[in-house]
Chains A and B, each alone.
Chain A
Amino acid sequence: MQQRSNLQRRQIRKGILLLVPAMALISIFYLSPAIVSVFYSLTNISQVGRKAVHWSFVGAANYAMMLRDGRFWVSLGNTAIFLLFSAIIGQNGLGFLIAYLMQRKSLWFRRLVGMAVLLGLVTPEVVVSIIFFAFFGVEGSLNQGLALFGISPKTWLFSCSMLSIILANIWRGTAFSMLMFQSALDSVPSELLESAHLDGAGPLRTLVGVTLPVIQGTILTNTVLITISTIGVFGMIFALTGGGPGLSSTTVPIYMYQKAFASYQIGYGSAIAIVLLCFGIALSLFYTKAFRSQA
């Protein structure tokens, strides 16, 4: 008994020592900025000019300004549209469709399609922007392709900027959902599918009655994960449309950047970051909970 508690005490001491570097790095570089941003969001600090030095506490003024700031609300609405169509419907739906249809296909065909979809996930953000800048251009390959069907060219990035960034983000992110659903579909017990078949259920009935209920945990986890990765998307939108024209494709991260780094209003930018962080915290708590209930 005595020996065991000695062992345990030694383990605790060693364990703490081994954990120190990781915890220090995370606290210094990751937790402290998050805490400091609460502090900044309560000040009128600026990046340049007089208020860079002579700043003062303004209480909740930045948050009050946000409530009245029509441009902020537009960016919030754009973020909701972006999340709903590019992640929750687009990546989820297309990723599932690909994984579902690829079942029982020949290996080389699965590899071919899978590789094409995965290129979107592997390609760096900036390159995705460049590719889609060319793709959506007036002379671009999208219009060239549509011309084959007799559809006249469009200035996609100007007249449909939101649709453009949604399509680009679907291209970029679908592979992740595809991989998640592939492994989930592989884990559906084949006896369940066989017995549904013997009961005379068609593929649609089997899908709705057997497959989807079995993989609902994955659907939930995947939805939360892709929402988390989509809510923070900055570089792709910034390089592709810059949030424009006007505010038409300005999401919250883009607006935060404009306020903090283009208008130098660090205080206000931090307040926007806090709001974004709150959404992130809510989503991440949801994810942690979903993970816990599955484990």
Chain B
Amino acid sequence: MKRKPARLRACLSYLVLIAIFVNFVWPLLWLVLASISTKPAWKLVMPNPATMENFRSIVGTPLNLRSFANSFLMAFGEAAVALVIGLLAAYPLSRYRLRGKSKLLFSLLFLSGLPITTVMVPLYMIFFQLRIIDNLAATTLFMAAASLPNAIWMLKSFVDDVPPSLEEAAAIDGASVLQILRRVVAPLMLPGMFVVFIFNFSGTWSNFFVPFILINSLEKMPASVTIFQFFNSYGRVAYGQLAAYSILYTLPVVALYLASQKYMSQGFTFGGAIK
């Protein structure tokens, strides 16, 4: 009597989940099929025969390779700066008894919740007047600054998890704070640092708005902006190449996500995916 509705419910929930699965995969099908088609179109067509030509022509264009290199430089630089400077700040916030510490922490949390979109207009003018428009390093530093509040929060909670007893021993032996950080604390929180690095790297790699506003010469643009321009100019004709370019640009972040997945659950409790 009681079993039947339970089984029906289980069936129903499988059906709903399968429908959700189909709806999430469906928009992606075009990207995959168009990238390996000889005659791609906006509709779904089975590639017959499948070809790697689209990928070859994207990789064969020096400017496209350049855009990937720019994306990599920005993403790596941003993640490295946010990680190192964030760790330096996270350590005293975790260990020391500082006056106004909790106020500072909540100010940082507050800053991490502000949408980055709101500062783009004045930021452009500041960059324009300081003549640092079209400057990859300055753009990278801005992105690091914008993600620091969140990075500090994440890193602080990872430092909190490291037992302080080892540091005390090292301090008695006369080690400096930086030595303690590098030799004692950092090795014990490598998974956490890995999460923060990947999180920042992927965020910068995927970011469109910031480089779209702050970078304007073709050879400095990251892939997000060149793909957008490709989409606007040739993309409505060369679908296959557009799809191949998009896949090549998306794969690294998917791979990084998979690589970090086992540590990710910790990172996500801070609601970090803003921006």
Query: Nearest Cβ in chain A — how far from B253, in angstroms?
Result: 6
Stretch from B47-55, B56-64, B90-98, B183-191 contacting the other chain: B90-98
B interface secondary structure, majority: helix
Determine whether the beta carbon of A22 is less than 8 Å from that of B121: no
With A113-B20, A140-B42, A232-B275 as contacts: A12 and B98 at CB distance below 8 Å: yes
User: Which residues from chain B contact A231 at a C-beta distance below 8 Å?
Assistant: 115, 117
Q: How many residues of A contact B (CB 8 A)?
A: 100
Inter-chain CB contacts under 8 Å: number: 280
Q: How many residues of B contact A (CB 8 A)?
A: 90
Determine whether the beta carbon of A14 is less than 8 Å from that of B93: no
Q: Contact check: which of A130, A234, A291 meets B209 at CB < 8 Å? A: A234
- Give complex CA distance A123, B106 in Å: 31
- Give complex CA distance A270, B99 in Å: 36
Which partner residue on chain A sits nearest B138 by CB separation?
Answer: A29
Q: Please, what's the 1-or-0 string for B223-257, where 1 marks a CB less than 8 Å from any CB in chain A?
A: 01001100100010001001100100110011001
Q: Contact check: which of A22, A180, A260, A288 meets B110 at CB < 8 Å? A: A288
Q: Which of A1-42 contact B (CB under 8 A)?
A: 8, 11-12, 14-16, 18-19, 21-23, 25-26, 28-30, 32-34, 36-37, 40
Determine whether the beta carbon of A235 is less than 8 Å from that of B119: no
Determine whether the beta carbon of A139 is less than 8 Å from that of B41: yes
Q: Which of B85-122 contact A (CB under 8 A)?
A: 85-86, 88-89, 91-93, 95-99, 106, 109-111, 113-122
Q: Contact check: which of B81, B141, B242 meets A130 at CB < 8 Å? A: B242
Which partner residue on chain A sits nearest B265 by CB separation?
Answer: A183
Determine whether the beta carbon of B20 is less than 8 Å from that of A229: no
Query: Nearest Cβ in chain B — how far from A81, in angstroms?
Result: 18
Determine whether the beta carbon of A124 is less than 8 Å from that of B250: yes
Beyond A125-B208, A228-B113, A232-B115, 9 additional contacts (C-beta under 8 Å) are A11-B98, A19-B92, A25-B144, A29-B142, A228-B115, A228-B274, A229-B275, A234-B117, A284-B111
Interface residues of chain A, those whose CB is within 8 Å of chain B, are: 8, 11-12, 14-16, 18-19, 21-23, 25-26, 28-30, 32-34, 36-37, 40, 45, 47, 94, 97-98, 101-102, 105, 109, 112-113, 116-127, 129-135, 137-142, 144-145, 171, 176, 179-180, 183, 203, 221-222, 224-225, 228-229, 231-235, 239, 253, 256-257, 260-261, 266, 269-270, 272-274, 276-277, 280-281, 283-285, 287-288, 291-292
